[in-house]
Amino acid sequence: MQVLDERHCIIKTPEVIDYLHRCALSEPSLAAVVTDLQPNPQEWGSSALHFAAHLRATGEPVLVKLNVEPGQLWWTRALAREYPALIPHVYAAGKRVANEALGWVVWEIVENGLHPGWHGREFDMLLEAGVAFQRVARTLAPAAQAAGVLGELRVADLAADLERGVQRDAPGPAALVLERVLDDWEWVNSVCEPTICHGDLHMANALCREHPPGGTALLIDYHPTLMPWAYEPAKPEILNADPARAGCRNLVAREAAIRARHGMSVPAAAALARLQAIVLGWWAVQAWAYIGGSPDPAWRDPAVWRAENEAYIAAAAAA
């Protein structure tokens, strides 16, 4: 039975879900850990199929994620073994269920995400966890490279995304941002240390057990990638920028402050300001490539979305 589509996402028809449920139930290494395994598809988990279950040893409810790609499975095992405080607890993991080569992880259920009502503390938690990931990734890098599970942001891929944004009529001088990308990329890399980052750092990929003022963010859905470190915090700023949202601005500069506290490299103030403007502009154009001008109003007001992205793109073009 075909269970994956062309994007390597599980085909979530009733027939496929029933088949994969039976495969999971018959996998000895999974059955040894959990019981009461039932399909529990999540609207936020487009590539994977999730199951509700209970730990066989304690009865504690857990979440089983099926179709964890090999790179993410490698990093999950490595992080759970070496740096477990960075992610939710991992009870077990494997590379297949029955005859299907689909990775799986048995996760702790963490109910809380990062809440927009925390007056900006949620952004600090996200950035602190992102820098913690960078520090951890340094130590895991040699093994990850040997295993072939480390991505790299390339200027050709960035330029292709920017071109798609221009083609979708991103507001402001997006064409100029695209035109300058090769020169800007060279400059960015001259002032911003390439660093192994989470790879997809944003609010939906962080959880927490404890609300502020305490607590730390736990990271999920990482795709570790070597990139200029400032590129990563620009994404959550673009996805959340709103005059009504407390604490959503200057995330690149705020991450720089966290890195400096840990003795990591940061550019001088003048270069940091220009760096922040450029990478925010890149992400504004890229976000337009992915989302366009009509975001779900339940998520972002379309007028605010356009105005914010136009301002970021204009600032990048002027940097």
Is 82 within 8 Å of 136 (Cβ atoms)? Answer: yes
Q: What is the pTM of this model?
A: 0.95
Note whether 122 and 105 are same-domain residues.
Answer: no
CATH number, domain at 59?
3.30.200.20
Tokens coding 260? 């400096």
How many domains does the chain fold into?
2
Q: What is the reported pLDDT for 212? A: 83
* Same domain (yes/no): 117, 98: no
Contact 207, 220 (CB under 8 A): yes
Q: Is residue 265 located within the same domain as residue 175?
A: yes
Q: State pLDDT tens for residues 186-206.
A: 999 999 999 999 999 999 999
Residue 305 belongs to a domain: yes
- Same structural domain for residues 194 and 121? yes
User: Same domain, yes or no, for 42 and 140?
Assistant: no
Query: pLDDT tens digits for 275-292?
Result: 999 999 999 999 999 999
Q: Would you say residue 7 lies in a domain?
A: no
221 located within any domain: yes
Does one domain contain both 63 and 152? no
User: CA-CA distance, 182 to 188, in Å (whole number)?
Assistant: 10
Domain co-membership, 161 together with 298: yes
Q: Is the same domain home to 86 and 138? A: no
CB 140 within 8 A of CB 74: no
Does 70 lie in the same domain as 175? Answer: no
Give the model confidence (pLDDT) of 39-58 as tens digits.
998 876 679 999 999 999 99
- Same domain as 150, residue 187: yes
Structural domain includes residue 8 = no
Q: Partners of 66 in the beta sheet?
A: 49, 104
Q: Are residues 124 and 66 in the same domain?
A: no
Please give the residue range of the domain that contains residue 156.
113-318
Residues 184, 49 share a domain:
no
Last residue of a domain, one of 109, 142, 176: 109
CATH code, 274:
3.90.1200
Q: Is the CB of residue 306 less than 8 Å from the CB of residue 174?
A: no
**117 part of a folded domain:** yes
Q: Does residue 219 sit within a domain?
A: yes
> What do you get for the CA distance between the two ends of the chain, in Å?
53
Q: Looking at residue 45, what is its pLDDT? A: 65
| Residue at which a domain ends, from 86, 109, 132 | 109
Report phi then psi at 172, rounded to 5.
75, -165
Name the stretches of the chain with pLDDT < 50. none
Q: Confirm whether 1 is domain-assigned.
A: no
How far, in whole angstroms, is CA 214 from its chain's centroid? 23
207 domain-assigned: yes
Q: How many residues does the chain have?
A: 319
